[in-house]
Amino acid sequence: MDAELDTLWALVAGILLLLATVGAVVLSEGMTRRRSVLTVSSRHLAGAAGAVIGLVALASVDSALLPTTAASGLALEPTAQLWLAACSGVLLTSLAMAGMAERATVVAHLLGGVLIGGALAPLAASGRHADGFLTTIEFGDRGFVDTAAGSMFAVAGWVALVGAMIIGPRRGRSGREGSVRDIPGKSMPLATVGALIMYSTLIGVLGRPGEAWGNEIIDGATVMLMGGAVGVLVGIVIGRAIAGDVRVIHVLRGLLAGVVSTTGDPLGASLEEAAIAGAVGAVIALVVGYYIDSVNIDDPVGIISVFGAAGVWGTLAVGVANSDQFLAQFVGTFVVASITTIAAGALFSMLRLLRVFRVRSDIEIAGLEP
């Protein structure tokens, strides 16, 4: 019976992750220009295909390399492991490549998906199972902890950061004398729908935590929802303080950053801890977002700040709540960041050298649509 429940939850969790991917695509479409929206969608599909291909290639080498959730109690067959890992890889690829929206080629999305799905997502997910690479990082009697997906979201942010720096800003964003022009998205209502879809489906990152798995998953989901709710309040307050009014972009980023900030260990956090983590994460995301805009790192969807910075904070927050845990969390976060930035930098630099990373200037100026 337990095995059947494990498989059922893996199926449900995978479906939720795919729905979260739909939310990421809708969010990206709302935050990009009208002339590029259809091509943004097709590139997300190319990235998803690359992620699945990369993961299957990894499994064909050695199925033991597949990420599992054994530390959370799941006992899955290889096929179920492949399904859940593929859904995670698809989501991470959509998030990471959204940081290069309107500029990256189909080839870049496809190969980026192969890298993320076949290497970086399994690396980040290794913090979730007992014999994973990240869980071997220990100091004293404390090992690295990431029961949901803090490190996985951080991977998306690191890839987006490296890619955005190498590919450069969109045409028309850089003004005279180094000024930065804002390029508004085509539809904030559409972006809001995407964010709400993600808010309600990111609970798919939760693993099965033992015998009372139903109740504990509800507890973990409530923790994540609390983090998002507090993040909304922070977005409202900071928006009014900085811009003088409530702006949807601040609220959406606060919402998602609050959720992501609780994904280091939502199964072990209280609602009070979730509120604190969500509030701090939302502040970090909004501050980082303002900074990267000021230095003209063009991230139309806010992946670097919302998922990268908040994902790092969510992983470290586990150690902040327990000081004995912090060193293991810090080292694990550093390892993930180092491997991710080096691998992504190598891939994107090679694509740029081969001139297949960014679309031609005339195509970008005219719009990516045929």
Which of 1, 8, 3 lies closest to 217 in space, CA to CA?
A: 8
CA R_g for the chain: 19
Q: What is the pTM of this model?
A: 0.91
Mean pLDDT over the full length of the chain: 84
Predicted confidence (pLDDT) at residue 152 exceeds the cutoff of 80: yes
Q: Assign domain 2-366 to its CATH superfamily.
A: Ammonium transporter AmtB like domains (1.10.3430.10)
Choose the weakest-confidence range: 98-107, 138-147, 180-189.
138-147
Number of neighbouring beta carbons within 10 Å of residue 193: 16
Residues 6+ apart with CB under 8 A from 149: 88, 124, 125, 205, 263, 311
% the chain with pLDDT above 70: 86
Per residue in 28-62, pLDDT tens?
Answer: 988 887 655 567 778 889 999 999 999 888 888 76
Q: Which stretch of 80-94, 106-120, 136-150, 228-242 has the lowest confidence by average pLDDT?
A: 136-150
Per-domain residue ranges of the chain: 2-366
> With 0-12 CB in 10 A as exposed, 13-18 as middle and 19+ as buried, what is 355?
exposed
Q: What is the DSSP string of 76-128?
A: --HHHHHHHHHHHHHHHHHHHHHTTTTTB-HHHHHHHHHHIIIIIHHHHHGGG
Model confidence band, residue 110 (pLDDT cutoffs 50, 70, 90): very high
**d(C-alpha 230, C-alpha 216), whole Å:** 21
Residue 203, both tokens: 């609970």
pLDDT bin (cut points 50, 70, 90) of residue 70 is very low
- Residue 211: other Cβ atoms inside 10 A: 10
Residue 132 scores a pLDDT above 80: no
Summarised one tens digit per residue, pLDDT across range 160-195 is: 999 999 999 888 777 666 677 777 778 899 999 999
Burial of 127 (0-12, 13-18, 19+ CB in 10 A): buried
